[in-house]
């Protein structure tokens, strides 16, 4: 689709600057007038469907996705076809057409296996598990998620990794398995910082509030929700998250004996949700409204809500393909997973056979580029998080971490220019590398912050390296670069504790660094 996007850009159109209404109009124009191939037209239809959801046009969105499928063929358009089946499963679920949703998910899983795409396969199983949760069988949903536990380790997308955990968290919260849910939520809080999906990041916050409520901390949960609402003023653009926020806030208010306010909030949300959804989502809101009314002693109105919710439940159960989600479906997935592994392995073997010596050199160069900072040529943050964490750290009995920050570096950029700042960074990097010694590791963590990993627990040895580094930088002849100005660094130092993860060690060293900064800079502090 790069060619299509380039042509759109050449017309002076900035896609990022368009609002939702303008984007929808643009993609309709692309479908009717601008697309040069069926593939481009199908992609434009997919984009139309995404924006139509924002305007509660779910049926139209489904029609455009179905139309897009007719324009595509295998194997050339497999990536786009997988995306469309994934989108269809969500749309059908939103409007309560669970049989169609399941059929889309089965098509998605089969195609993903046939073409060796483990991430779309994982997405399909998450969707099937979600259908089990909608039916109310959270244990069965967990069994589906457990079917992909081994494959989850191969997930490369931060967004999918976060989504996988959040699906499990939702089940655990509904099953009141709070300790396990809390453990997974802690992982989600870490992953969300490397995710670029705003909805997933907001979902982490909402589930955290739900956990607090289930731990009988309604006021703390409500306070967290109020902060969340203030931070996410565009929440109305995400109907599902808006619904989840209203449900959690209402339950907190009910526990705090403020049922009238909960009823107002959930009634407003019911009106909004009925515009774009039906069935399960409406039933959820009716259950909350019933509890809110009962807490206000309005039992007759609460009973009416329960009756309406019961009717929806009967309709869901009546048309729900629960028999297709039983043991035979799980066994089918076992066979599919085995086939997926074989297909991925076969595909990888074919690719390996085609790799020439020249391509190997290219791969080696790319790997070096990926794990080295382009300016200083030191290892980078990605190397620290992957190669060090997964390959080097497990082989070390222990290690020391030195976090180094250039003092007042912003003023160097401001007074001398960013080009001069880059020269300073390269010189500091060279001094740090020379000071660290051949058995240790030096890297640029980001900005003006560097790290030395000392492969020893001898604090005296680590302190010697830190002092040598600090003094070498402060005593360096900076005149040619900065005239009369000197450069100093502050260093935080700590020893990795037994079986400690790299994030915890880093945070402790970072605290020591801030202590060095507060103590006057140009010094080493040990935590």
DSSP string across 400-451: EEEEEEETTHHHHHHHH-HHHHHHHHHHHHHHHHHHH-TTSEEEEEETTEEE
Report yes or no on 441 lying in a domain: yes
CA separation for the pair 309, 290 (Å, rounded): 9
400-406 sheet: strands from edge to edge:
441-446, 449-454, 400-406, 489-495, 524-526
Q: Is 182:165 a contact under the CB 8 Å cutoff?
A: no
Report yes or no on 508 lying in a domain: yes
Report yes or no on 56 lying in a domain: no
The whole-angstrom distance between residue 458's C-alpha and the CA centroid of its chain comes to 38
- State whether the Cα torsion 473-475-480-484 is positive or negative: positive
Q: Which has the minimum average pLDDT: 68-72, 148-152, 268-272, 379-383?
A: 148-152
Tokens of 132: 């089990």
pLDDT digits (tens, 9 = 90+) for 11-42: 899 998 999 899 999 999 999 999 999 999 99
**Nearest Cα to 163, choosing from 103, 132, 119, 133?**
119
Report yes or no on 293 lying in a domain: no
Mean pLDDT, rounded, of the chain: 90
pLDDT category at 417 given cuts 50, 70, 90 is very high
* H or E stretch covering 526: strand 524-526
pLDDT digits (tens, 9 = 90+) for 493-510: 999 998 899 999 999 999
Strand partners, 492: 403, 525
Report yes or no on 62 lying in a domain: no
pLDDT category at 361 given cuts 50, 70, 90 is low
Mean pLDDT of 418-446: 95
**Nearest Cα to 240, choosing from 100, 375, 454, 91?**
91
pLDDT category at 340 given cuts 50, 70, 90 is low
Q: Is 487:478 a contact under the CB 8 Å cutoff?
A: yes
pLDDT category at 363 given cuts 50, 70, 90 is low
Between these two residues, 503 and 240, which has the higher pLDDT value?
Answer: 503
Burial bucket for residue 304 (CB in 10 Å: 0-12, 13-18, 19+):
middle
CA separation for the pair 469, 81 (Å, rounded): 55
CA separation for the pair 28, 35 (Å, rounded): 10
At residue 300, does pLDDT exceed 60? yes
pLDDT category at 398 given cuts 50, 70, 90 is very high
Total number of domains constituting the chain: 1
Report yes or no on 335 lying in a domain: no
pLDDT category at 134 given cuts 50, 70, 90 is confident
Q: Is 154:169 a contact under the CB 8 Å cutoff?
A: no
Report yes or no on 98 lying in a domain: no
Burial bucket for residue 33 (CB in 10 Å: 0-12, 13-18, 19+):
exposed
Q: Is 161:153 a contact under the CB 8 Å cutoff?
A: no
Q: How many residues are listed for the chain in this entry?
A: 527
DSSP 476-514: S--HHHHTT----EEEEEEEPPTT--HHHHHHHHHHHHH
At residue 362, does pLDDT exceed 60? no
CA separation for the pair 527, 525 (Å, rounded): 7
Q: Which residues of 315-339 are buried (b: 16+ CB within 10 A; e: fewer)?
A: ebeeebebebbeeebeeebeebbee
pLDDT category at 317 given cuts 50, 70, 90 is confident
At residue 341, does pLDDT exceed 70? no
pLDDT category at 273 given cuts 50, 70, 90 is confident
Q: Which whole-number Å values give the CA distances from 144 to 57, 70, 320, 336, 337, in the listed order?
A: 31, 31, 17, 13, 12
At residue 364, does pLDDT exceed 60? no
Mean pLDDT of 473-495: 95
CA separation for the pair 494, 227 (Å, rounded): 35
**Nearest Cα to 517, choosing from 486, 482, 480, 490?**
490
* CB neighbourhood size of 382 (10 A): 14
Q: Which whole-number Å values give the CA distances from 71 to 42, 43, 84, 273, in the listed order?
A: 6, 10, 12, 33
Q: Is 393 left (phi over 0), alpha (psi -120 to 50) or beta?
A: alpha
Mean pLDDT of 442-446: 95
At residue 346, does pLDDT exceed 90? no
Q: What is the pLDDT of residue 292?
A: 94
CA separation for the pair 53, 51 (Å, rounded): 5
Cis before 382 (ω within 30): no
Residue 441 φ/ψ, nearest 5 degrees: -130, 135
Q: Which residue in the block uniquely carries the two structure tokens 């731990």? A: 215
Report yes or no on 397 lying in a domain: yes
**Nearest Cα to 61, choosing from 76, 72, 51?**
51
Question: CATH number for the domain including 506?
Answer: 3.30.70.270
pLDDT digits (tens, 9 = 90+) for 241-261: 889 999 999 999 999 999 999
**Nearest Cα to 476, choosing from 433, 431, 443?**
431
Long-range CB pairs of 406-414, under 8 A, 24+ apart, other chains included: 406/448, 406/449, 406/487, 406/488, 406/489, 407/487, 407/488, 407/489, 407/490, 407/517, 407/521, 407/522, 408/521, 409/447, 409/448, 412/482, 412/485, 412/487
- In terms of residue numbers, what domain contains 449? 373-526
Q: What is the pLDDT of residue 135?
A: 86
pLDDT category at 350 given cuts 50, 70, 90 is low
Mean pLDDT of 76-82: 95
At residue 354, does pLDDT exceed 90? no
- Structural Rg of the chain based on CA atoms: 28
| pTM, rounded to two decimals | 0.61
């Amino acid at each position: 689709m790069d060619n299509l996007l380039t042509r759109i850009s050449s017309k002076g159109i900035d896609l990022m600057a368009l609002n939702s209404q303008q984007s929808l109009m643009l993609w309709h124009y692309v479908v009717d007038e601008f697309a040069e191939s069926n593939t481009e037209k199908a992609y434009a239809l997919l984009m139309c469907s995404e924006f139509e959801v924002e305007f509660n046009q779910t049926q139209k969105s489904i029609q455009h996705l179905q139309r897009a499928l007719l324009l595509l063929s295998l194997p050339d358009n497999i990536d786009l076809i997988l995306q469309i089946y994934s989108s269809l499963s969500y749309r059908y679920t939103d409007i309560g057409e669970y049989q169609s949703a399941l059929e889309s998910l089965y098509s998605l899983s089969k195609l993903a296996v046939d073409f060796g795409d483990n991430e779309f396969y994982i997405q399909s199983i998450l969707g099937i598990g979600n259908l089990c949760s909608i039916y109310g069988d959270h244990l069965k949903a967990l069994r589906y998620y457990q079917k992909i536990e081994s494959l989850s380790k191969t997930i490369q997308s931060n967004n999918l990794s976060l989504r996988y955990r959040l699906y499990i968290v939702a089940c655990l919260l509904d099953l009141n398995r709070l300790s396990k849910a809390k453990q997974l939520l802690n992982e989600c809080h870490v992953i969300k910082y490397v995710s670029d999906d705003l909805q997933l990041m907001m979902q982490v916050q909402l589930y955290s509030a739900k956990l607090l409520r289930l731990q009988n901390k309604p006021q703390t949960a409500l306070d967290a929700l109020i902060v969340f609402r203030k931070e996410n003023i565009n929440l109305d653009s995400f109907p599902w998250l808006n619904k989840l926020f209203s449900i959690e806030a209402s339950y907190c208010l009910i526990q705090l004996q403020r049922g009238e306010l909960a009823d107002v909030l959930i009634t407003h949300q019911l009106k909004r949700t009925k515009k774009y959804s039906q069935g399960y989502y409406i039933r959820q809101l009716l259950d909350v409204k019933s509890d809110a009314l009962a807490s206000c002693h309005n039992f007759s109105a609460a009973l009416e809500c329960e009756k309406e919710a019961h009717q929806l439940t009967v309709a869901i159960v009546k048309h729900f393909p629960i028999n297709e989600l039983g043991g035979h479906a799980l066994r089918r997935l076992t066979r599919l997973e085995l086939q997926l592994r074989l297909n991925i392995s076969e595909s990888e073997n074919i690719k390996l056979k085609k790799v020439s010596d020249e391509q190997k050199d290219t791969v080696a160069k790319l790997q070096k580029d990926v794990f080295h900072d382009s300016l200083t040529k030191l290892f980078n943050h990605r190397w620290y998080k992957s190669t060090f964490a997964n390959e080097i750290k497990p082989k070390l009995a222990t290690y020391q971490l030195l976090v180094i920050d250039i003092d007042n570096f912003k003023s160097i950029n401001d007074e001398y220019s960013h080009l001069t700042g880059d020269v300073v960074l390269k010189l500091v990097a060279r001094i740090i590398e020379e000071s660290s010694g051949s058995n240790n590791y030096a890297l640029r963590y980001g900005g003006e912050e560097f790290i030395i990993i000392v492969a020893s627990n001898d604090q005296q040895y680590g302190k010697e390296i830190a002092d040598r580094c600090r003094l070498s930088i402060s005593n360096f002849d900076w005149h040619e670069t900065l005239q009369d100005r000197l450069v100093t660094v502050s260093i935080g130092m700590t020893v990795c504790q037994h079986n400690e993860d790299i994030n915890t060690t880093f945070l402790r060293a970072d605290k020591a660094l801030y202590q060095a900064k507060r103590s006057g800079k140009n010094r080493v502090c040990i935590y």
